[in-house]
Chains A and B, each alone.
Chain A
Amino acid sequence: MSTVLALKPVAAEKNPVAADGAIRGHAASAQVAVVLAVPAEIRPAVAAPEARPGRGSERLRDFLKAVIPPLLGLALMTGLWSMVATMTGNIPGPGKTWDAARILFADPFYRNGPNDQGIGWNVLASLQRVGIGFGFAAAIGIPMGFMLGRFSFMNRMFDPIISLLRPVSPLAWLPIGLLVFKRADPAATWTIFICSIWPMILNTAQGVQRVPQDYLNVARVLGLPEAKVITKILFPAVLPYMLTGIRLSIGTAWLVIVAAEMLTGGVGIGFWVWDEWNNLKVEHIVIAIFVIGIVGFALEQMLLLLARRFTYENR
Chain B
Amino acid sequence: MKPLVKIENIGQTFNTKSGKFTALRDINLDISQGEVVSLIGHSGCGKSTLLNLIAGLTLPTSGVLLCADREIPGPGPERAVVFQNHSLLPWMTCFGNVMLGVEQVFGRKEGKVKLRARVEAALEMVHMAHAMHKYPHEISGGMKQRIGIARAFAMEPKNPVDGRALRCTRCPDPRVLAG
A interface with B by C-beta (< 8 Å): 12-13, 19, 214-215, 217-218, 220-224, 228, 232-233, 236-237, 312-315
**Any chain A CB within 8 A of the CB of B22?**
no
Interchain CA distance A228-B131 in the complex, whole Å: 25
Interface residues on B, range: 20 to 34
Contact residues in B for A314 (Cβ distance below 8 Å): 137
Q: Which residue of A lies closest to B80 (CB)?
A: A221
**Cβ–Cβ contact B57 & A312, under 8 A:** no
**Cβ–Cβ contact B90 & A313, under 8 A:** yes
**Cβ–Cβ contact A233 & B89, under 8 A:** yes
Q: Which residue of A lies closest to B152 (CB)?
A: A221
**Cβ–Cβ contact A221 & B57, under 8 A:** yes
Interchain CA distance A146-B89 in the complex, whole Å: 20
**Cβ–Cβ contact A221 & B130, under 8 A:** no
Interchain CA distance A312-B89 in the complex, whole Å: 9
With A215-B87, A315-B137 known as contacts, the answer to whether A222 contacts B130 (CB < 8 A) is no
**Cβ–Cβ contact A220 & B90, under 8 A:** no
Interchain CA distance A243-B155 in the complex, whole Å: 34
8 smallest beta-carbon distances between A and B, as pairs: A12-B130, A312-B90, A214-B87, A220-B75, A236-B91, A221-B75, A223-B77, A221-B81
**Cβ–Cβ contact B101 & A222, under 8 A:** yes
Tell me how far the C-beta of A175 lies from the nearest C-beta in chain B, rounded to whole angstroms: 45
Tell me how far the C-beta of B170 lies from the nearest C-beta in chain A, rounded to whole angstroms: 11
Please pick, from A215, A224, A237, the residue contacting B104 in the complex, using a CB distance under 8 A: A224
Q: Which residue of A lies closest to B143 (CB)?
A: A9
Interchain CA distance A5-B39 in the complex, whole Å: 33
Tell me how far the C-beta of B108 lies from the nearest C-beta in chain A, rounded to whole angstroms: 12
Give chain A's interface secondary structure class.
helix
Contact residues in B for A312 (Cβ distance below 8 Å): 90-91, 135, 137
Q: Which residue of B lies closest to A218 (CB)?
A: B87
Interchain CA distance A313-B136 in the complex, whole Å: 9
Which residues of B in the span 76-129 have a Cβ within 8 Å of any Cβ on A?
Answer: 76-77, 79-81, 83, 85, 87, 89-92, 100-101, 104
Tell me how far the C-beta of B100 lies from the nearest C-beta in chain A, rounded to whole angstroms: 6
**Any chain A CB within 8 A of the CB of B149?**
no
Which residues of B in the span 31-63 have a Cβ within 8 Å of any Cβ on A?
Answer: 55-57
Contact residues in A for B79 (Cβ distance below 8 Å): 221
Contact residues in B for A232 (Cβ distance below 8 Å): 89, 92, 100
Contact residues in A for B101 (Cβ distance below 8 Å): 222
Supplied contacts A221-B57, A312-B91, 8 more A-B pairs, CB within 8 Å: A214-B87, A220-B74, A221-B79, A222-B155, A224-B104, A228-B104, A232-B92, A312-B137
**Interface hub of B91, B104, B155 (most chain A Cβ within 10 A):** B91
**Cβ–Cβ contact B87 & A223, under 8 A:** no
**Cβ–Cβ contact B104 & A218, under 8 A:** no
Contact residues in B for A222 (Cβ distance below 8 Å): 77, 100-101, 104, 155
**Cβ–Cβ contact B57 & A218, under 8 A:** no
**Cβ–Cβ contact B87 & A217, under 8 A:** yes
Interchain CA distance A228-B99 in the complex, whole Å: 13
Contact residues in B for A13 (Cβ distance below 8 Å): 130
Contact residues in A for B81 (Cβ distance below 8 Å): 217, 221
Interchain CA distance A105-B88 in the complex, whole Å: 52
Please pick, from A12, A218, A223, the residue contacting B89 in the complex, using a CB distance under 8 A: A218
